[in-house]
Structures are given as C-alpha cells and as structure tokens.
Structure 1
Amino acid sequence: MLREATGDDVHLMLSWRNQETNRQVSKTCHEITPEEHARWWSAVRTDPTRRVLTYLRDGRPCGVVTFFDLRLDGSRTGSWGFYLDAEGLAERGETLPAWLAVMREAVDYAFDDLALDRLDGEVLGHNTVVRQMNRRFRFVEGTPRQEISDGREITVIPISLERANRRRR
C-alpha cells in the first residue's frame, strides 16, 4: 500500500536511502547527511510538482516512492523513483515480493491517481536487475548518456512508460 509520506517517516527514509545497496544504484552515492535530507524534505513537502509516498508492506513502512517534475495540465507527464528498506526486507525474505508490489502500486498511482499519460524515470546502466524488472513492467529504455556524479562516471538510461502500454492487473 502507498500512502502520503509524513514527518514521522523522515528518519526511516534517510536510513533506507543511506543503505549501501541503495547508494550504489543511485545517481548520488554519498551518504546523505541529516541536514541534506531535512532540506530535501522541506522543499518537497510544498512543491506541487512532487509527491512523496511511503510504501507499506503488512502495515510496516519499508519504502519510498517519489514522483517529480509532474505536469498535471496538458501533457500529463511525470518522473518517478523509489527505494526500499533493502536490509530489513532481505532479513525477512521479502525483497522480491516487496519490489514487485511497490512497482505495481507506483505505476497504478501514476496512471490512476495522478492520471498521467507518460511516466518517466532513469536507471543506472550497471543496474541490470532493475532494468529487467522495468522491462517486465513494459518500460522502454531511451538512449544512454554518460554523467559524472559524486566523482564517478555513470551511465544513465532514461526509461518511459506510456499509459496505453502499461501492464494491467
């Protein structure tokens, strides 16, 4: 289940984002400081082009879904990303089911609640598992580009999913 993130979720979000597994598949791989995180949270809470949702599994918070660059008039597009409590889910043996569920729920939210026509995102080139999962959900990869982030060269692959191509339950 997805619900709007609250101030009570902020410390959990930071701890999940700073897990090594999540940092290695993010454009910025440094540990996010509490101050950086507080600035981010302060900005996103009042930004009409953003939504931050908490993913609940069996009533327990265990992930974050962010929607950003939302254009809800005219073209109806937006971008998204997510990360999970990789360590907690792995300990409980729930990583794959949680991953499938959060992607399904995020895509449903994008098209059903936000009424987007196209959902965009990015994935790092070396993240082959996520790239496979994206294809399973019918995301299409665009032209890769090289970027420098946190002093490392990364390959960023844009992805998109059109409303007409989404996999329905």
Structure 2
Amino acid sequence: MLRTATDGDVDIIRVLRNQEPNREVSVNAHEISAGEHAAWWAKASVDPTRRVLIYERDGVTAGVVNFFDLELDAEPRTGAWGFFLDAEGLAERGETLPAWIEVMKDATNYAFDELGLDELHGEVLEHNAVVRQMNRRFRFVEGEPQTRYADGREITVFPISLHKDNRRKPKGN
C-alpha cells in the first residue's frame, strides 16, 4: 500500500535511504546527513511537481517511492520516479522479492491511474543488474547509457521509460 509521506515519516525515510544496499545503487551514494535530509524534505514536501509516498507492507513501513518532475498539465503528461525499500528489514523477514514486486505494481498503478501520467521515466545504474532485469519485466525500456560523476566516482546510468499503453495492466482491467 502507498500513502502520502508526512512530517512523521522524515526520520524513517532517511534511515531507509542510508541503508548500505540502497546507497550502493543510488547516484548519490554518500550517507545523507540530518541537515541535508531536513533541507530536502523542506523543499520536497511543498513541491507541486513531486509526490513522496510511503510503501507499507502489513502495516509496517517497508519503503519510499518518489515521483518528481511531474508535468501534469503538459501533453504528454510525464513524470520521473525512483524508490528504495527497507532492504535490511525485508531481507530479515524473507520478504524482499514479494515486496519489490508489490511496490513496483503499486507505484506504476499510482503513476498511471492516480497521477494520470502518459509516460513514466527513471534511471538505473549500469551495475544494478537485478533492478534492470525487474524493470524489463515491468516493460520499462532502457535508453542509451550516460556517464556521470557523483560522489567522486564515475557511474554509468541508463534512463528508463514506460508508456501507459505498454504497462502491465492491473488484474481485472
């Protein structure tokens, strides 16, 4: 289940984002400080082109989904997204794969059914082979790789996109 993040979620968002498995697959891999996180939340929580959602599994916070660069008044209606899970907690409970599939279903449904997007964009690091494979299962298409420098390292990033007509349809549709 996805719900809108609140001020009460700020600390857990930072804790989950700073888990080593999440930092390893992020463009910015450094540990986020309390001050940096507070500044991000102050902007993100009032940005009309952004939605920060909490992914809950069995009533427990299990991840965060970010939608950003939302162009809801444009044609086509577009937006970007990213997410991270409670890698440590889900692994401990043996729920990583089911949670991952569920959050991707919930997030793509939210993008196309709630936000009304025509196209959803994102990016994935080249070395994140497991996520790249899951993205393909959800019918995301990879674009040409781009080289960037972040946190003192060179990384290769693949842009990804999914058009609403190519998505896996929710059951019953």
What TM-score comes out, normalization by structure 2 length? 0.97
Task: Give the structure 1 partner of residue 40 of structure 2.
Answer: 40
Deviations 1:53-78 (A, max 9, x none): 00000011110000000000122100
SS of the residue corresponding to residue 109 of structure 2 reads helix
Match of residue 68 from structure 2:
68
1:45, CA displacement in angstroms?
A: 0.7
Moved over 6 A (4+): none
d(CA) in 2 for partners of 1:3 and 1:45? 14
Task: Give the paired residue count.
Answer: 169
Alignment of 1:8-157 (within 5 A): 8-74=8-74, 75-157=76-158
Unaligned runs of 5+ in 2: none
Give, in whole Å, the separation in 2 of the partners of 1:95 and 1:7: 26
| Structure-1 separation of matches of 2:88 and 2:13 | 13
Structure 1: gaps spanning 5 or more residues: none
Letter in 1 for 2:64: V
Q: CA deviation at 1:86?
A: 0.3
Identity over the aligned pairs, expressed in percent?
66
Superposition RMSD in Å = 0.5
Equivalent in the alignment of 2:167: 166
CA deviation string 1:12-50 (max 9, x = no partner): 110110010000000001000000000000001110000
> Quick one: distance in 1 between partners of 2:126 and 2:53?
26
Residue identity opposite 1:122 in structure 2: E
SS of the residue aligned with 1:69? Answer: strand
